Amino acid sequence: MLNLIGKGSLATCDGISRRDFLQVGTLGVIGLSLPQLLSAQATGKVRKEHDDRACIMIFNLGGPSQLDLFDMKPDAPAEIRGPFHPISTASPDIQISELLPGHARLADKFSLVRSCYHTAAAVHDTGHQMMQTGRLFCDGIATPHAGCVVEYLRGGRSDLPAHVLLSEPMGSTGGGLSHGQDAGFLGKANDPFVLMADPSQPDFKVPDLVPPPQIGEARLDRRRKLRVIVDTTVKNFEASESARLLESNFESAFRLITSSKAREAFDLSKEPRAVRDRYGMNRFGQCCLLARRLIEAGVRFVTVNTFLTVFNEITWDIHGSSPFTSIEGMKNIVAPMYDQAYSALIEDLQQRGMLETTLVCNLAEFGRTPRVNPSGGRDHWPQCWTMYFAGGGVQGGRVVGKSDAFGAAPVERPVDCSEIVATIYHSLGFDLESQIPGPAGRPLPLVDSGKHEIRELF
C-alpha cells in the first residue's frame, strides 16, 4: 500500500528505503511513494468499446449474514431464520430483509448471487484473498488485487491513479495473513493509491495531494528542473533501469501532486451538504460518495472497505459477544449505515448516467452460520453466502443460484471466487484469456483455467 506521508520504509529494488531516499531530496520520496502511477503497458486484450467502464468494489469486511439480509428463510425454525422478516422489493423475484429498505427500493437495479462458496479455512484473511484476487495465496506468493491488475493492464487516465483504496487497507482480522489488497507479484508499481484519511472528518484532506508545508509548488518545480540537469549529466545513471523507473515515478507523482483535476476529484467540499447527508456523514458513507467522484473524474477502479478490522468495532462479524458484534448491533448500527450509503450510491450513479458503465460489486469473505449460536450471534460460514452486482452491464432484478432450506449450502449454480473476479474483469472489457506475468516471470491467466464470468448476470 502506497501513500505519501504514511509510516514505513519499504525498500526499492536497489535496496534503498523510501525513508532513506527522503534524505536525498523531497520529491524523491514522492516519486517512490506513488509508483503505482507508472505508465503501464497493456499486455492483455481489452474490448475497446468498454474503455469507459469502471468498477467500485465494496468489500463487506466481517461477512454479512445471508440469512438475516439477502437469503432469508422465513419457514425455517426460529434458531435458523433469526429475528428479522423478509419484505417485497422493486423486483418481483427478490425478497430481502426488513433491515434494508433502501436496497428493496432499488432491487431492480442489482442482482443477487445466493450460491457463493469457498473451501478454504473459515478465517477472514483467506476469504479476503480469494474474493479480491480470485485465488488463495500459496507458498508465500501474493496474488494481485483485481484493481491492481487493472492498473497493470490499463494504467491511469490523465493525472489520476487507476486504482484507489478507501479509506485504509484492512487491518488485523485475526489470521495474521495478507488480505489481498495490494499488487502482490505484479510489484509495488501497481499498488493502489491509498487514502489513509477519514473523509467524514471536518478537516479531511488527502495527504498525498498536499505538498509538505515547508515546500511550495515553485520549489517543487525547481526540484524537477534540477533533476533533469542531474539525469542528463550523469549518463551512466540515466541509462540504468533504476533511473528510468525513478524518472517515471517522479513525473507521475509530480503531475498528481500539482494536478488541479486530482485535487478536485478528492475534494468533498464541492458536494452540497444535502448530498453528503444523503450518503451518511460517516466513514463508509463518505467513502461511497468519494468513490462516485473518483469514477466520475476518470479513476478506473475504487475499492471501499466497509470496515477496517473486526475487533472492538461494530461490524458484520456478528459472533454476538465482545470484542465482536451482536445481531442487535447489526440491526441498529451497521445495516442502516450500509443501506443508506449503498442506496445513495446507486441512485446517484443512475441519475448521473454512470450506472451502465460502472460495475458496483458487493463482496465479502464468507457468510454466517445457519444456526444462531449460544451468544445470540452467527459464526463464520464459507460454505454458502450471497454477493451482488449492479451496473456495468449487469441486468438487475435477478437471482443467480439457490441455497438449501437452511442457507447452508448451494443447491443450484455454485459460484466460486474465480467466477466472482472473472465477472469483474468481464464487465471491464478484459479478455479472460489474457495473461499477466506471474511469479518468477511465468505467464499466469487472469483467472483459473476453465473459469468464466457469471454469465447469467449479463
In a domain, 113, yes or no: yes
In a domain, 56, yes or no: yes
In a domain, 109, yes or no: yes
In a domain, 16, yes or no: no
Number of domains composing the chain: 1
Enter the C-alpha cell of residue 111: 442482482
Q: Which domain holds residue 442?
A: 47-210+270-457
pTM of the model: 0.85
pLDDT per residue as tens, the chain (458 positions): 544 333 333 322 333 333 333 333 333 332 333 333 333 334 456 787 788 999 999 999 999 999 999 999 999 999 999 999 999 999 999 999 999 999 999 999 999 999 999 999 999 999 999 999 999 999 989 999 999 999 999 999 878 999 999 999 999 999 999 999 999 999 999 999 999 999 999 989 887 676 555 555 555 565 555 556 555 555 555 555 455 545 555 555 556 666 788 899 999 999 999 999 999 999 999 999 999 999 999 999 999 999 999 999 999 999 999 999 999 999 999 999 999 999 999 999 999 999 999 999 999 999 999 999 999 999 999 999 999 999 999 999 999 999 999 999 999 999 999 999 999 999 999 999 999 999 988 899 999 989 999 999 99
In a domain, 25, yes or no: no
In a domain, 74, yes or no: yes
In a domain, 275, yes or no: yes
In a domain, 345, yes or no: yes
User: The domain spanning residue 382 has which CATH number?
Assistant: 3.40.720.10
